[in-house]
Amino acid sequence: MPPFDVPEGDPFGPHNLPYGVFSPAGSSERTVGVRLGDHVLDAGAAAHALGSPYASLLARPTLNPLLAAGRTAWSDVRRALTAWVTVPAHRETVEPLFHPLSEVTLHLPFEVADYVDFYASENHARNVGRMFRPDAPDSLTPNWKHLPIGYHGRSGTVVVSGTDVVRPSGQRKAPADAAPVFGPSVRLDIEAEVGFVVGVPSELGRPVPLGDYRDHVFGLCLLNDWSARDVQAWEYVPLGPFLGKSFTTSVSAWITPLDALDEARVAPPERTHELLPYLDDAEEEPGGYDLRITVAINGHVVSDPPFSTMYWTAAQQLAHMTVNGASLRTGDLYGSGTVSGPSERERGSLLELTWNGRDPLELPDGKRTFLEDGDVVTLSAWAPGPDGVRVGLGEVTGRVVPAP
Ligand code: CA
């Protein structure tokens, strides 16, 4: 079907228009693409053909120039793109610049600067607390309701959806073992998350207030924070996650601009603790997003984590990670933390879904506690859009391959 005739109601219709970077069939050249249905528009070529001033932002091998251009430019470019793919007068010029998705190669769409990962789901944090600190008086740590907990991760190992995930090796030691052993992880897991992509940098020494979130953050994508639970368990005290998570983080090939998600904004869960002023969002616009995530292993759905249940918002996370004066760079990526809802089928990790391996999942192709070599994990999601139409998020998928 020609891209201009994308069916009404398609989750990747003209109301969505996520950005990626692709190479056409038979070419190694990278350029910015915009998805419409099951096609990709060569956005830079369209800008050139229509004499648009945005060619300098779009005829580029990464999204970084567009990310850095700022909120006014983001809105202007989106308005122009919407016209290019919907106004019949442009059809003859623009239609030849589309490529079928099945024929292109998709790349990591931006150069990842710094990478931070949070821990913002109360359900997830409580499940982890119950499993690993069963004797603690509260399943949450005392700081949890006062600040968005996070850590700095490894940006150089963020990969695009479709990249194989090599099973990591490392040290592990069960509490009853006398000494640690070394070898491929036997508890390889996923974490279903949402990643936020920073466009506009900030000045060193100047915190970014809650209300400036949309001046800095360009868009979001699905993110899988692959985690080696055995490596993590042995190494994490006292400085937090290290090699158990730094081997690979997968992101979608498509970045959904925040402007496409206005109808999906929702208030976060009710706050049970008074927040310090820099995190107090009572007077701010709704900071949550109604994203319905699905986790599938080898095509079998195992969970539907609801992002609307996340306690800390992306705006609060941005305010917190800059409150000490740490500056933002174009291409910074921050993960929401594992998304887990209140019910058992809404958990975003195998750690929780199998209760640390105690209750294996029954899949048509066998039982699973943690991932086996050859397993393919796919996260997908949608959000409510205008007039009842869904906004599709680009999927993030990865296949586990054996340790070398
Ligand atoms: Ca995580």
* Catalytic annotation present for 124: yes
The answer on pLDDT for 248 being more than 80 is: yes
pLDDT in tens, 50-95: 999 999 999 999 999 999 999 999 999 999 999 999 999 999 999 9
Kindly tell me the number of DSSP H helices and DSSP E strands found in the chain. 10, 26
pLDDT at 220: 98
> Is residue 249 pLDDT above 70, yes or no?
yes
| CATH number for the domain that contains residue 40 | 2.30.30.230
In a domain? residue 361: yes
Give yes or no: residues 326 and 195 share one domain.
yes
Residue that is written with structure tokens 């479709």 in the block = 162
Last residue of a domain, one of 85, 107, 129: 107
pLDDT tops 70 at residue 161: yes
Same domain flag for 269 and 357: yes
Which residue's entry shows tokens 């910015």?
Answer: 32
Spacing, Cα 381 to ligand 1 middle (Å) = 18
Is the sign of the CA dihedral 187, 396, 247, 25 positive or negative? positive
pTM for the complete prediction? 0.98
- Domain edge (last residue) among 107, 138, 159: 107
User: What's the gap in Å between 26 CA and the centre of ligand 1?
Assistant: 36
- Given a cut of 90, whether residue 36 has pLDDT beyond it is yes
Residue 34 is predicted with a pLDDT of 98
Q: Is residue 5 scored above 90 in pLDDT?
A: no
Q: Which of 107, 124, 158 is the last residue of a domain?
A: 107
State the average pLDDT over residues 119-140. Answer: 95
Q: Give the active site residue among 124, 146, 273, 300.
A: 124
pLDDT above 70: residue 39: yes
Judge if 56 and 177 occupy the same domain: no
CA 228–ligand 1 middle distance (angstroms): 11
Q: What is the pLDDT of residues 389-400, one digit of tens each?
A: 999 999 999 999
Distance CA 359, CA 302 (A): 13
Q: How far is the CA of 176 from the centre of ligand 1 (A)?
A: 27
Q: Would the pLDDT of 1 be above 70? A: no
Mean pLDDT of 351-358: 97
| Separation of alpha carbons 136 and 141, rounded Å | 9
Asked if residue 238 has a cis previous peptide bond (ω within 30° of 0), the answer is yes
Residues 75 and 145 in one domain: no
Residues 103 and 210 occupy one common structural domain: no
CATH code at position 163:
3.90.850.10
Confidence at residue 247, expressed as pLDDT on a 0 to 100 scale:
98
Kindly state the average pLDDT of the residues 204-221: 98
Residues 6+ apart with CB under 8 A from 27: none
What residues make up the domain containing 391? 115-401
Summarize the confidence of residues 94-117 as an average pLDDT: 98
pLDDT of res. 178: 96
Mean pLDDT of 102-121: 98
**pLDDT higher than threshold 90 for residue 255:** yes
d(C-alpha 318, C-alpha 323), whole Å: 8
- Is residue 9 in some structural domain? no
pLDDT of 3: 79
Tell me the pLDDT of the chain averaged across its residues.
97
d(CA 251, CA 274): 34
Same-domain pairing of 123 and 171: yes
Residues 296 and 356 in one domain: yes
Does residue 121 sit within a domain? yes
